[in-house]
Amino acid sequence: MPAAPRIAVVGSINMDLVVRCGRLPRPGETIIADDAREIPGGKGANQAVAAARLGAKVSMIGRVGSDSFADRLLDNLRHERVDTAHTLRTEDCASGLAIISVEATGENSITVVPGANGHMTPNDIDAASDKIERAEVLLLQLEIPMEVVLAAIRVARDANTRVILDPAPVPDHVPNGLLDVDFICPNESEAAALLGQSADSIEDVIAAKSLAKRGPGTAIITLGSRGAVVCETSGLCQHIPSIDVQAVDTTAAGDAFAGAFGVSLAEKSSILDAVRFGCIAGAIAASRIGAQPSIPIRSEILQVARDSQRTI
């Protein structure tokens, strides 16, 4: 039996307040929602759980606060067999909070209050550098301070650890070094923002080629129900189709993709096979309510692959 791949995750840990409604409210409008739930989330924690559910040894590098959510968030990560040795508590501070409105189509609107996530520093990376150096893959997102993300990239680069960046939320300014990663995996709107274009005007393959030329070894634009476009710096591009699902809540679909993609890469799959694996994971997540509760285990992904006659 091969050893479990080692994945390091540097990122956010939030409690999600998920509000389900028939449709998202327009500016200035009040609507009546169907229900509300408190669900562990945060892009970093979601990706950590996604990787752990697929059998990886995952280290979560992040912060929670000193509020009532902190123990619940830590307990949840440990329940998912995520190593929290470098998940720190920040005193006199609230844990991260995301307010997520989800309409009947599965589309969502998300407002994030960083809380303790905003108190991460490059010192947190220094203290956990061995976890990054020993990992096959580092997963990153942008719900934490940019200097922390850049510090993590530098440690990974020096250790030849492959880096996957989910550039969400997209910053107003892209600093030097942010795109010095092996893989970048924005969705269409994030790709458009990175390129300074309208999401309605971008052509997926051209956008992916443009992103790849800016530094990442490979650009992957996730397209929801349409799968993903993969472009390498060589200019070689390919569309990877997804599977048909009824979208219920797309909140953690991108995180499920990133976690599954990272694990598959760490298991020595080809880039295209890893993207296929990630697309199925993301599609399954979109068909379920909530962030982490929606994330699939390996047997579910493999079953869907068999049912759809996909090779992964």
Specify the pTM: 0.92
Domain span at residue 144 reads: 6-12+42-89+117-307
Considering only CA atoms, which of 167, 217, 216, 218 is closest in space to residue 194?
A: 167
Residue 109 lies in a domain: no
Rounded CA-CA distance 85/8 in Å is: 12
pLDDT of residue 1: 56
166 is catalytic: no
List, in sequence order, the alpha helices (H) in the chain.
43-53, 68-79, 122-127, 129-134, 146-159, 188-195, 204-213, 253-266, 271-286, 298-307
Residue 50 lies in a domain: yes
- Residue 132 tokens read as 């990054």
> 143 and 12 in contact (C-beta within 8 Å)?
yes
> 207 and 65 in contact (C-beta within 8 Å)?
no
- Number of domains forming the structure of the chain: 1
Residue 300 lies in a domain: yes
Residue 106 lies in a domain: no
Considering only CA atoms, which of 3, 19, 48, 203 is closest in space to residue 139?
A: 48
Residue 238 lies in a domain: yes
> 197 and 170 in contact (C-beta within 8 Å)?
no
Q: What is the CATH number of the domain that holds 268?
A: 3.40.1190.20
Bridging pattern class, strands 237-240 and 228-232: antiparallel
Residue 186 lies in a domain: yes
Residue-wise DSSP of 67-128: SHHHHHHHHHHHHTTEE-TTEEE-TT-PPEEEEEEE-TTS-EEEEEE-GGGGG--HHHHHHT
- Cα separation values, 54 from 255, 259, 279, 300, Å: 13, 9, 14, 10
User: How confident is the prediction along the chain (312 residues), in pLDDT tens digits per residue?
Assistant: 578 999 999 999 999 998 989 998 889 999 999 999 999 999 999 999 999 999 999 999 999 999 999 999 999 999 999 999 999 999 999 999 999 888 888 788 888 899 999 999 999 999 999 999 999 999 999 999 999 999 999 999 999 999 999 999 999 999 999 999 999 999 999 999 999 887 666 788 888 899 998 999 999 999 888 899 999 877 789 999 888 888 887 878 999 999 999 999 999 999 999 999 999 999 999 999 878 989 999 999 999 888 876 655
Catalytically annotated residue among 16, 182, 249, 255: 255
| C-beta neighbour count of 41 within 10 angstroms | 31
Residue 17 lies in a domain: no
Residue 97 lies in a domain: no
pLDDT of residue 199: 66
